[in-house]
Structure 1
Amino acid sequence: MTDIGCALRSGDWLTAARIKSYSWILLAFTMATIAGWIALSDGLIDRHGKPIGTDFSNVYAAGVLTLQGKAADAYDPPLQHATEKAVFHGRDVPFFGWHYPPFFFAVAAITAMLPYAGGLALWVVSSLLAYLAVMRAILPRPETLLVSAAFPAVFVNIGHGQNAFFTAALLGGALLLIERRPWVAGILIGLLAYKPQFGMLIPVALVAGGRWSTITAAGITVSALVVISFAALGGDVWHAFFQSMTFTQNVVLEQGGTGWEKIQSAFSAARHWGADVKTAYTVQTIMALSLATGLAWLWRSEAAFDLKASALASASLLATPYVLDYDLVVTAVAIIFFVRHGLACGFRDYEISALGAAWIVPLLSRSVAGLTTVPLGLMVLIALFALTLLRAQGDRASEISGHARIAQA
C-alpha cells in the first residue's frame, strides 16, 4: 500500500493541528465572503439580483402575510411572490416558495415583526447559536465550537438564509436527551415536523429501540401544533397547504426546479442522469427501505448509542428525495456522535478519513454535481451510514471475541 493509502487508512494525516488550521481557514473564508456579499449589496439585493438571505425572503413574506391575517396566501405562488417583491419595495426579486406546514407561520411572524435585516439577523443568529450549543453539549471539548462553526454546510446555510441550523439543533438535542429525558426528546422530535421529510425514519428507529415515551411525547407535540394552528389560523390555511403540495412535488422536486446539482438525494441523482420520475422514485424507495432495515437492526441491537444516533442522522438525510446541500448541516450531528464514540473507544481503519470527507463535502457537492453529475454528497452520506453499521457490527464481534477469551481463560 502506498504512503497515501496508509495515511487514509490510519487517518494519521488528520492531526489535531490540521483540524484547527483547516477550521480557521474555512471560518475566515466564510466570514470574509459574507461580509463582502453584504457590503456589495444594493438595498439588501445582491449583485445577482437576489435578496440577501435568498430563501429567508419567503419566510419573511409569509410572516408579513400572517400578520396581515392572510397566511393562506403564502401557499399561492403569485400572491407570495407579490409579497416578496413588496418587502423589497417593488424590486423584481426571484420567487422563493413557502412550503412549510401551517404551524411554522408562528416563527415566520416573529421575524416579520422586525425590519427585513433585523428579521434575517434574528433568524440566522438564534438558529446558529442553538446549533452550536447542541454540538458543544454533545461533545464538550475546546475545539468543538470552532470545528462546528467552520463546517462548510454552515456557510451554505447562511448564504441561503435557510433553517438547517434549527433542524440540526432539534435532532441533535433530541438524540442527546433521549436516554436521560425521553419526553423532552420527544417534544424536540415533534417540533421537527416543520420539516416532515426528515422524519421518515425516526419512527422506525424509535419503535425498534422501544422508545415509547419519546414516541408518545412526539405524537402529542405534533397534535398540539396542528390544533393550535387550526385555532389560530383556521382550517383554510391547512387546505391551502395540502393543495400547495402538488406544486412543491411536481415543480420543485420532480421537474428539478431547484436544480439537480443542489439536491443531494438518490432521486435527484437518478433524474440528473436522465431517469424518468417513476424510475427515480423506485431508486429512492429502495434506498429508504434499505436504510430502514439497517436502522431497525442497529436500534434493536446492543450497539453503542452514539452509533445509533449517528446512523439515524445520516439516514434521515438519505431517506428523503428532497434534501438540499444546505440541509447537510444535519451531517454534523452524524459526525459528532461518531467522533464521540471514536474518542471513547478508538477509531478503526478509514473512519477518520471518512469523517473528514463528510465534513468537507458540503463545500464541494454542488459544484462537483454541476460539473460532472457525480452526486458526491450522496455518495459520502451513504459511505458514512454504511461505515456506522460496520463499526457497530465490528464492535459487537470484538465484544463477543473478548467474552470468549475470558471464558477460555
Structure 2
Amino acid sequence: MPGPGDDGTATLSGAGISRRLARAVTALALLAGGGLFLLGVWAQATRLWLYLHQGLGFADPFCTTGYCDYGMFWLAGVFARHGQAALLYDHARYAALAAQLLPYKSGWWPFVYPPTILLPAWVISALPLVAGYYLVSLALLLASVALLRRAGIPGWCIAAGLISFPAMWNLYLGQFGLICGALLVFGLSRLRARPVLGGAALSLLAIKPQYALLVPVAVLAARRWKAVAAEVAGVAALLGLGWALGGTAMFTAYLGPGRAAMHALLTQAPSPHGYQAMGISVFWLLHGLHFSTLAAYAGQGLVSTACALILWRLWRNGETPLAATVFCTLLASPYGFTDDLAIYAVLLPTLARRETPWRNAGLAWLWVLPACAPRVFSHSGVLIAPLLLLAALIVAGCSETRSGESVSVFFRAAKRAPLVRAR
C-alpha cells in the first residue's frame, strides 16, 4: 500500500525527524567526549615521556608532570614515617619541607585531609614516587571497576565513565575520587541485602569525608542498624590507625590549623583562573557570582538540606536510588572538584532509555560539559558544574522513582544479579 507521499514513497514523520536529530546530537556529544579521551591519553603519555627524558629535576608550578595530588599523599606518608605527621597542618613548614623533598614542584597547597588518610598515604610512600603513581593508579582503577561491576553497573556504563574528562583528570592528578565513588555505589547497593558489608565499604569513605556526607541519611532512613554498627567500627578503626601513625599531635593540629586552612581555602576570593574554576559546589557557584560568604554558606546549606530530605524520603520508601544518592552527595558538599565527578560520569549512562532519544542527548551533553566548566568560569565567572549536577539529579529522580519503585536500567540489572539478592 502506498505511503503518505503522492509518489508512493514514505515520508518521515515529525517524530522520526526528532529521533534522528536527537541521535545526531548524541553522536556529536560522544564525538566530543572521544576527543577529550584522546587528549587525556596524550597528556599521560607526555608526562611519562618527560619523566623518562628529564627525571623530576625541573620546575613545574602548574602540575604539568608533577603528579600533583598524588605527590601530596606520598609526602604525607613520608612525614608520618619520620614522626612528623603533625607538620602536615603547619603550612609554612610543610611547604618548606615538601620543596626540599620534591624540588621540581612549587605552589604547595595547605594539607586539609583528615588523619584517616594516613593509612593509604603510608602504603603509598613505601613505593618510589613515579613508579608508585602508575602502580597505585592502576590498582585503584581496577578496584573501582570491580566494585562497580559487583554493584550491578553495566560494563558499557563503566567504560563510558572511565573515558570521561573527570575520570581522566582524576587519574592525571593521582586522586581518590574514582575509588571513593565506587565505594559509595557499592556500599549503597549492598545496604539492604548485606548491611554489614555495605556499612564496612561506606566506612572507608572516611579518607574523603565529603563522599560520606549523606550516607547517614540513607542508612538511617533504610533502618539498617547493622550497617550503622559496621560503619562506626570501620571509621573508628581508621581513626585508631591514624592516631597510631600520626600521634595525638596530628589530631590536635588538624582540629586547629588544619580546619583554619580548610576554611581559608574554601572562602578565598575567586579569580578567573583560580582553583575554583575546577569546583563543583553550590558554595563556589554563589561565591563566584559575588555573593557574600554568609549568603554562599546559606545557599549551600539550603541545597544540602534539600538533598538530605530527598534522600530520606527515597530510602524511607524502600527504594535504592544509587544515582540520585551520588548526585545529592556531590551537591551537598561545599568542597569538591572536577575529579570528584568521575562517578557522576559512570552513572549518567545508566539513566539512558531507548525510547527517549532527546533525554539521551541531554545525558550525553551532561557527560561532556564538565570539561567545559573551567573555561566557562574563567570567561564569565559562572560555575556550571553544580548546575549540571542539579540537572542530572532531576533526570535521576524521574528515572529511579516511578510509582514507588526503582525503574533504572542498572538497578533492574542489579536486582537480577545473584550478589545483590538477600542471602
Give yes or no for contact 2:22–2:361 (8 Å, CA) kept in 1: yes
Alignment size in residue pairs:
388
TM-score by length of 2: 0.82
Which sits farther off after the overlay, 32-41 or 112-121? Answer: 32-41
2:41 equivalent among 31, 39, 53: 31
Partner of 1:404: none
State how 1:191-270 maps to structure 2 within 5 Å: 191-256=204-269, 259-270=275-286
SS at match of 2:277: coil
SS in 2 for 1:107: helix
| Residue type of the alignment partner of 1:358 | L
Greater Cα offset, 20-29 or 123-132: 20-29
Amino acid in the other structure paired with 1:380: L
Aligned mates of 2:59, 2:244 — CA distance in 1: 39
1:357-407 residue CA offsets vs partner (Å, 9 max, x unmatched): 3321321222222222232211110011122223345444999xxxxxxxx
| TM, length-normalised to structure 1 | 0.84
Question: Separation in 2 of the partners of 1:398 and 1:291?
Answer: 18
Whether the 8 Å CA contact 1:261–1:367 is kept in 2: the answer is yes
Q: Give the deviation of 1:238 after TM superposition.
A: 0.6
Of the candidates 159, 163, 167, which is equivalent to residue 180 of structure 2? 167
- The 2-side partners of 1:273 and 1:22 are apart by 28
Name the stretch that deviates more: 230-239 or 138-147: 138-147
Structure 1 residues 224-252: Cα deviation after superposition (integer angstroms, max 9, x where no partner): 22223324432111101111333333321
The residue number in structure 2 matching 1:367 is: 375
* CA–CA distance in structure 2, aligned partners of residues 358 and 298 of structure 1: 23
Matched residue, 1:155: 168
Residue 150 of structure 1, CA deviation: 0.6
1:350–1:114 Cα change, 3 Å:
same
The amino acid across from 1:63 in the alignment is G
For residues 5 and 367 of structure 1, the distance between their equivalents in structure 2, rounded to whole angstroms, comes to 33
Matched, 1:279 2:295: yes
Question: Where does residue 92 of structure 2 map in the other structure?
Answer: 78
1:67 aligns with 2:81: yes
Any idea what the Cα deviations from partners look like across 1:89-117, whole Å, max 9, x if unmatched?
Answer: x4462213322221211211222122211
- Residue deviations 1:40-69, cap 9 Å, x none? 454335765535211222111111111111
Residue of structure 1 in register with 2:364 after alignment: 356
- Give the superposition deviation at 1:167: 1.1
Unaligned runs of 5+ in 1: 400-409
Amino acid at match of 2:365: A
The answer on 1:298 being equivalent to 2:328 is no
Residue of structure 2 aligned with 1:93, choices 106, 112, 116: 106
Larger Rg computed on CA atoms = 2
316-325 vs 175-184, which moves further: 175-184
Q: Residue 145 of structure 2 aligns to a residue in which SS? A: helix
1:157 & 1:69 partners in 2: Cα distance?
Answer: 29
Q: Distance in 2 between matches of 1:139 and 1:12?
A: 27
Q: Which residue identity does 1:60 align to in structure 2?
A: W
For the pair 1:103 / 2:113, whether they are aligned, the reply is no
Q: Is the 8 A contact 1:288 1:319 kept in 2?
A: yes
Return 30-39 or 316-325, whichever deviates more: 30-39
Aligned residues with identical type, % of pairs: 23
Contact map agreement 1:310 1:333 (CA 8 A) in 2: no
Asked whether the equivalents of residues 184 and 211 of structure 2 are also in contact (C-alpha less than 8 Å), the reply is: no
Contact 1:365 1:375 (C-alpha < 8 Å) held by counterparts:
yes
Say which of 381, 390, 396 aligns to 1:388.
396
State the shift of 1:329 in Å.
1.1
Query: One-letter code of the match for 2:326?
Result: A
RMSD (Å) for aligned C-alpha atoms: 3.1
Whether contact under 8 Å (1:24, 1:146) holds in the other structure is no
Give the Cα–Cα distance (whole angstroms) in 2 for the partners of residues 347 and 46 of structure 1.
53
Please state how far the C-alpha of 1:347 moved relative to its aligned partner: 5.7
Say which SS state the counterpart of residue 95 (structure 1) adopts.
coil
Cα distance, 1:142 vs. partner?
5.3
One-letter amino acid of the counterpart of residue 40, structure 2 = T
CA offset at residue 23 of structure 1? Answer: 6.0
Q: Cα 1:3–1:22, aligned 2, differ >3 Å: closer, same or farther?
A: farther
Task: Tell me, in whole angstroms, the C-alpha distance in 2 between the residues paired with 1:249 and 1:100.
Answer: 9
Secondary structure of the corresponding residue to residue 68 of structure 2: coil
Could you say which residue in structure 1 is the equivalent of 2:336? Answer: 323
CA contact (8 A) 2:282 2:299 kept: yes
1:116 maps to which residue? 129
Query: Counterpart amino acid of 2:81?
Result: L
Look up the match of 1:134. Answer: 147
